[in-house]
Structure 1
Amino acid sequence: MNRRSPRLMLALAAAGALAACGQKEAPKSAAATPAPKVPGKTYARDPYPSTYKAYPGVPTLVRNVTVYDGEGGRIENGQVLFAGGKIVAVGQSVETPAGATVIDGTGKWVTPGVIDIHSHLGDYPSPSVSAHSDGNEATSPVTADVWAEHSVWPQDPGFSRALANGGVTTLQILPGSANLMGGRSVTLKNVYARTMQGMKFPGAPYGLKMACGENPKRVYGGKGRQPSTRMGNVAVNRATWMKAQDYGRRWAKYEKDGGEPPARDVAMDTLRGVLDGEILVQNHCYRADEMAIVMDMAKEFGYKVSAFHHAVEAYKIGDLLRQNGTCAAVWADWYGFKMEAWDGIHENLALLHKAGACAMIHSDDSNGIQRLNQEVTKALTAGRNAGIQVSDELAWTWLAINPAKALGIDRVTGSLKAGKMADVVLWNGNPLSVYTRPEKVWVDGALLFDMNNPRLRPVSDFELGQPGLGDAK
């Protein structure tokens, strides 16, 4: 039977709704912006700017709920008011504006939308077939020239699964980990859109995906080329950063003095952005000793690692991570599947929290992203069993403000604070329970998922027996 993907139909309907509200898409190219007389920093110019526009929402008050504000605060019998796409007020007594939609959440919880700092949705979409494998440009140990956003398929049903089952409202899409420098990452709002630009988080900084350890030395050593060892990994990295420093000096001189511009290099534009602090390093790394070496290398070349990802041995260096202002994005219990992951422990996240490091949960998996709240519960329980007492509301920082900080977007999202984006989840019970799931999810104040409304329960062509599609036989 020939029928349209419901996800695509929702996107097209949303486009019509935006048009009906008089909202127009932003220009799809930066070409209309007059160039400065002396060129600015080349890496800062995005030739594929965000065209994201918030879906229309209505003023909404959710009351009689337990609130986790995402920064460690908890309010019993709380109320959350949002309007115009922003959080207006949070507390136990909030004035209800005329005409607002009022939702009674007795026995339920409200949290900020979940933020996943490590995802490959869209780059490795469902169905998982070789034709969709677009996340690893495994052709050179340094592919800083590629951008993950250019592989994102907006119709990946994984996006709607993450929204509906996991309450995920923001996620970073990364290249894979075959390469030492795998390319730029992109941060997306988890909304229905026809294009990648329509999902692109406005104003979010880019990231540079890096990887250390077994992956790059295995991939390229297996091809009989450098790197084939951990020392080869560091050598190639250092040589590349030296080239990037020279590239930056030549462009800085031109931007100051004018004259003949240096030759552009797409990869070096990205690395220059890192050295200038405009692009954030997101580093795949497992072993504690390698993380320490990478932080030393960052000091040598004057950049900073925003977060180590996976980081199964991060618990050994929580103090070093805290001192360097570097976060750790970890799993609750994935370890032991290769040698560099052998020394992982369930208490990793709790120990990092105890050490005062910036720590968070992440998925790296299209299934895991739908249950990150449960992953936090596992990590929290392991910590408590080891005598590390972390409250439920503090543990929610591992899903909210901490990943927002590591992505450079904590000023606008990651917590339920007045003026921030109204990315909000109403859970039908305690969100740290395996029996709980999102009841409603708002992105920028627009209701995009409602488990009680079939029109707002996203489905895909890969599922049968959904409302409106006939019964599965």
Structure 2
Amino acid sequence: MKRNIMLLAGATMLAACAAQGGEAKSASAAPKSSKPAPGKGKGFDHNPFPSTYRVYPGVPTLITNVTILDGEGARIDNGAVLFRDGKVVALGQQIAAPEGATVIDGRGKWVTPGIIDVHSHLGDYPTPAVQAHSDGNEATGPVTAEVWAEHSVWPQDPGFSRALANGGVTTLQILPGSANLFGGRSVTLKNVYARTMQGMKFPGAPYGLKMACGENPKRVYGAKGRIPSTRMGNVAVDRQTWAKAQEYDRKWDKYEEEGGDAPSRDIQMDTLRGVLDGEILVHNHCYRADEMAVVMDMAKEFGYKVRAFHHAVESYKIADLLKANEACSAVWADWWGFKMESYDAIGENLAILDKEGACAMIHSDDANGIQRLNQEIAKVVKSAERAGIAISKERAWTWVGINAARALGVDQMTGSLRPGKMADIVLWNGDPFSIYTRPERVWIDGALMFDANNPKMRPVSDFELGQPGEGDVK
């Protein structure tokens, strides 16, 4: 417990330093709306839960003599990267160290952008995994678009620090569960220590809407003797709900254009209106190719887009359709067979999508898997190699780099090592495609958040086992 208190105190002190003398917010909170409801095209300035995220203070840092994967498909051997004031400044092979910079000789090591996981439930299903902590699925009705995942996020979940230290994860999307057709809003977080979820919220990131198709909704609600109990029931409830959302959208459009009495506010429909207006991104749990095709047809009917299908084990069957509809696929390397809709999976799924020019990425959906996404990438590369598909390491890293950032709508801010972008950086102690490689240091916005060589910067909690001889951090 003493170690927990010290860690929380340290995080609080850093946050306070940042608020007083550190950098400014990465993005300013939007002003409050002058009307009592979401304004079309106003970026959801009605949000009553704005980000209070502040960049932790860092120091100018130059890493030299490393292999760099930039997250957009390029590689620099014997490279260097310079960052300061929370941003990447330069990368190349010969970079002069500015006065006062910390210089790290990374000979034999690799540098990548921080890993982005587009599908996580950390904080909503935290450790320890007991019923009292199970807050990720409002499974009381097939349509719960009114709930927001962020309102269940517990910032003290030790899964966050494990993902940071063991997996190099710097950004992650927290989604509601998949019992519902409309599960509610997702939230994108920076993987920093904070006392509140607002202190973790990625500034300027759009919200997502979690949807689901297939076995989960029809099983959960069919078992209760209500619709949906079939796949056609799933789609019927979806279409009925979108039709209601369109009517709600039209009423508010008319009010905003012509004035008069404001329509009644509906928190559930606010979220769906945000999707119809292009301000909230749809992330759809879906396994089978035929169902993904149906969902894309439904999206055209009601005038929205699916940003990404998650799990998507049969995406390889419809890579051309996904590319044409600009729908990404977030997939596993080799999870399959745990229910009927997951049986037709292949290890080359992601590689085929990439080869065909469709947007694709690795995701975890698991508190353990999020700690090894680099190894999941390596599995896909090997599966592709056996199938005769050559995927370079620099290309493969886009699956947790720029592709994942695009799926979350934050690619202008993170996802790759480019001057001006957030300095979300991992220094690996070897080739990250090896099972023996671990993060050595992790920076978020240029602030050192994890250092394997510094016992005081290792994550600790009541649920961790220390190394023999380790006691309280002094």
Give the TM-score, by structure 1 length: 0.96
Structure 1 segment 392-431 matched on structure 2, within 5 A:
392-431=393-432
Shift of 1:25: 8.7
C-alpha distance in 2 between matches for 1:442 and 1:29: 24
Taking the aligned partners of 1:57 and 1:468, their CA distance within structure 2 comes to: 31
1:125 aligns with 2:126: yes
* 1:52-451 equivalent positions in 2, closer than 5 A: 52-451=53-452
**RMSD, aligned α-carbons:** 2.1
Contact 1:39 1:255 in 2 (8 A): no
Partner secondary structure for residue 357 of structure 1: coil
Q: Is the 8 A contact 1:111 1:426 kept in 2?
A: yes
Report the equivalent of 2:12.
12
Deviations 1:267-314 (A, max 9, x none): 100000001110000000000000000000000001000000000001
Amino acid across the alignment from 1:14: L
Q: In structure 1, what is the Cα distance between the partners aligned to 2:335 and 2:76? A: 33
Q: 1:217-261 deviations in whole A, cap 9, x for unaligned?
A: 000000000000000000000000000000000000000111100
Amino acid at match of 2:85: G
Q: Does the 8 Å CA contact 2:333/2:377 hold for their aligned counterparts?
A: yes
Q: CA deviation at 1:20?
A: 5.4
Q: Are the aligned partners of 1:221 and 1:227 in contact in 2 as well (CA < 8 Å)?
A: yes
Secondary structure of 1:290's match?
A: helix
Mapped to 1, the partners of 2:290 and 2:38 lie a distance apart of 41
Cα contact 1:124–1:135 (8 A) shared by 2: yes
* SS in structure 2 of the partner of residue 403 of structure 1: helix
Alpha carbons of 1:260 and 1:290: their partners in 2 closer, same or farther (altered >3 Å)? Answer: same
1:299-348 deviation digits (Å, cap 9, x = unpaired)? 00010000000000011001111111010000000011100001011111
Alpha-carbon separation, structure 2, partners of 1:319 and 1:138: 34
Deviation, 1:21, is 2.2
The reply to whether residue 35 of structure 1 matches residue 34 of structure 2 is: yes
TM superposition shift of 1:53: 0.4
In the TM superposition, residue 3 of structure 1 has moved relative to its aligned partner by 6.7
For residues 17 and 432 of structure 2, the distance between their equivalents in structure 1, rounded to whole angstroms, comes to 32
Return the alpha-carbon distance in structure 2 between the equivalents of residues 431 and 123 of structure 1.
29
Hey, what's the Cα distance between the residues in 2 that align with 1:403 and 1:172?
10
Decide whether aligned partners of structure 1 residues 274 and 33 sit closer, same or farther in structure 2, where only a CA change above 3 A counts: closer
SS in 1 for 2:108: strand
2:414 counterpart SS class: coil
- Are 1:87 and 1:420, in contact at CA under 8 Å, matched by a contact in 2? yes
Shift of the alpha carbon at 1:51? 0.3
Which residue type is aligned with residue 380 of structure 1?
V
CA deviation after TM superposition for structure 1 residue 206, in Å: 0.2
Over the matched positions of the two proteins, sequence identity in percent amounts to: 72
| Farther off after superposition, 17-26 or 107-116 | 17-26
One-letter amino acid of the counterpart of residue 120, structure 2: S
Shift of 1:15: 2.7
Deviation at residue 462 of structure 1 after TM alignment: 1.0
Superposition deviation, residue 459 in structure 1: 1.0
- Deviation readout 1:45-104 (Å, 9 max, x if unpaired): 211000000000011000000000000000000000001100000111122211111000
Normalised TM-score (structure 2): 0.95
Q: Which amino acid aligns with 2:189?
A: L
Q: For 1:29 and 1:83, locate their aligned partners in 2 and report how far apart those are by CA, in whole Å.
A: 23
Residues 99-132 of structure 1 deviation map (CA, whole Å, 9 limit, x = unaligned): 1110000000000000000000000000000000
The code of the aligned residue for 2:90 comes to A
User: Aligned partners of 1:17, 1:163: CA distance in 2, in Å?
Assistant: 22
Unmatched segments (≥5 aa) in structure 1? none
Q: Could you tell me whether the CA contact under 8 Å between 1:6 and 1:461 is conserved in 2?
A: no
Structure 1: how far apart are the matches of 2:270 and 2:192?
Answer: 29
Q: Is the 8 A contact 2:114 2:170 kept in 1?
A: yes
What's the offset of the Cα at 1:35? Answer: 2.1
Cα deviation, 1:12-50, whole Å, max 9, x if unaligned, reads 232343255267999x998x8472699734854211000
Note the residue ranges of structure 2 that are not aligned, 5 or more in a row.
none
Work out the number of aligned pairs and report it. 470
CA distance in 2 between partners of 1:246 and 1:37 (Å): 18
Q: Secondary structure at the match of 1:300?
A: helix
SS in 2 for 1:106: coil
Given the superposition, is the C-alpha separation of residues 103 and 146 from structure 1 closer, same or farther in structure 2, using an over 3 Å criterion?
Answer: same
Alpha-carbon distance in structure 1 between the residues aligned to 2:286 and 2:399: 19
8 Å contact from structure 1 (residues 319, 355) kept in 2 = yes
Superposed CA deviations along residues 120-164 of structure 1, whole A, max 9, x for unmatched, are 000000000000000000000000000000000000000000000
Determine if contact 1:5/1:460 at 8 Å carries over to the other structure: no
Q: Secondary structure at the match of 1:261?
A: coil
Q: CA deviation at 1:468?
A: 9.2
Distance 1:355 1:466, change over 3 A: same
Tell me the amino acid that sits aligned with residue 190 of structure 2.
K
Judge conservation of contact 2:38–2:270 (CA < 8 Å) in 1. Answer: no
Once the two structures are TM-superposed, the CA of residue 465 in structure 1 deviates from its matched residue by 2.8
State the one-letter code of the partner of 1:127.
P
1:308 and 1:468 map into 2 onto residues whose CA distance is: 46
Inter-partner Cα distance in structure 2 for 1:100 and 1:328: 40
Partner of 1:461, secondary structure, is coil
Q: Which amino acid aligns with 1:35?
A: S
Once residues 36 and 193 of structure 2 are traced to their aligned partners in structure 1, the CA distance between those partners, rounded to angstroms, is 38
Q: Return the letter of the residue paired with 2:203.
A: P
**How far, CA to CA, are the matches of 1:409 and 1:267 in structure 2?**
25
Quote the offset at 1:432 in angstroms: 0.5
SS state of the match for residue 105, structure 2?
strand
Q: Which amino acid in the other structure matches residue 227 of structure 1?
A: P
Contact 1:6 1:459 in 2 (8 A): no
